Amino acid sequence: MADLSVQPKRRKIPALLWLLIAIIVLVIILLLQRSCYNTGYSSNTADTSTTVGATSPNTPNNDTTVAGRTPGADDWDDLEKNAPSAAYEEVTDQSIGVRGNDNYGVYDLGNNILFDLNSSTLRKEAGQKLTQIAASINKRFKGGEVRIYGFADSTGSTSYNKQLAEQRAAAVRTWLATNGGIDSGRISLHPIGEGRPVATNSTAAGREQNRRVEIIARKP
């Protein structure tokens, strides 16, 4: 009598299970890619900065390389922009707000002090204010990085406000480099526009406070 060998039947994996496995693998790959992209970026990438020397509102919102710093690396995260007021003996003009400590200084000026309405041309009397600020920076933070932040109120379009804030910050940078003895290579522009209001935009007094320029300097 002949031997009969019975081979066990192989189970076929359902097509639905293969599809489920493929989806899981794809999700894992996407998560790994997202993790790689997020590595190395600063937590305050909401701040926009423009390349030194550029004043176009279409400039990409990339971090600027200033004084050898690497693009994307921002060690200003610990800077307390809301620090208590500071008293610098060289800054006697009462219209200049000063905050900070021994490591950095924040010089705050209203746009109405520096510019006429909707203008990015510095007023003649603005030079007196900027002279004191430049002297203070050269005395306390000489050789360090300087950042100029331009702010606006919410009147007008967002793009216009940011463009005007950038043009005004650029005008201040040009003055500091030309007349203040500060290396332009250490000055970067950071036009914020109508973002970060310090007061309500629903009143004229609040809007006036939001129209401002901040010059921040720190030790090298």
Mean pLDDT for 115-136 is 90
User: In angstroms, rounded to a whole number, what is the distance separating the alpha carbons of residues 122 and 172?
Assistant: 8
**13-45 confidence digits (pLDDT tens):** 667 777 778 788 776 766 665 544 333 323 333
User: In angstroms, rounded to a whole number, what is the distance separating the alpha carbons of residues 173 and 206?
Assistant: 26
Confidence of residue 176 (pLDDT cuts 50, 70, 90): very high
Pick from 155, 208, 216: which is nearest to 190 by CA?
A: 216
User: In angstroms, rounded to a whole number, what is the distance separating the alpha carbons of residues 84 and 17?
Assistant: 63
Instruction: Give me the residue spans of the domains in the chain.
Output: 43-220
Confidence of residue 8 (pLDDT cuts 50, 70, 90): low
**152-171 confidence digits (pLDDT tens):** 777 878 888 888 889 989 99
Q: Given the structure tokens 């003895």, which residue do they identify?
A: 181
Percent of the chain with pLDDT over 90: 30
Q: Is the pLDDT of residue 73 over 60?
A: no
pTM score: 0.65
Which pairs from 99-106 meet CB under 8 Å and 24+ separation?
102/140, 102/219, 103/218, 103/219, 104/79, 104/141, 104/216, 104/217, 104/218, 104/219, 105/136, 105/137, 105/140, 105/141, 105/216, 105/217, 105/218, 106/81, 106/214, 106/215, 106/216
Least confident of 71-75, 107-111, 160-164, 165-169: 71-75
Q: 117: which 2 tokens?
A: 């309405």
Confidence of residue 117 (pLDDT cuts 50, 70, 90): confident
The yes or no reply on domain 43-220 and CATH 3.30.1330.60 is yes
Q: Is the pLDDT of residue 209 over 50?
A: yes
Confidence of residue 69 (pLDDT cuts 50, 70, 90): very low
Q: 79: which 2 tokens?
A: 């800077």
**179-205 confidence digits (pLDDT tens):** 999 999 999 999 887 777 777 777 877
Query: Does residue 104 contact residue 52 with C-beta atoms inside 8 Å?
Result: no
Tell me the pLDDT of the chain averaged across its residues.
Answer: 74
Taking the alpha carbons of 186, 192, 172, 111 in that order, is the dihedral positive or negative?
negative
Residue type for 155, please?
A: T
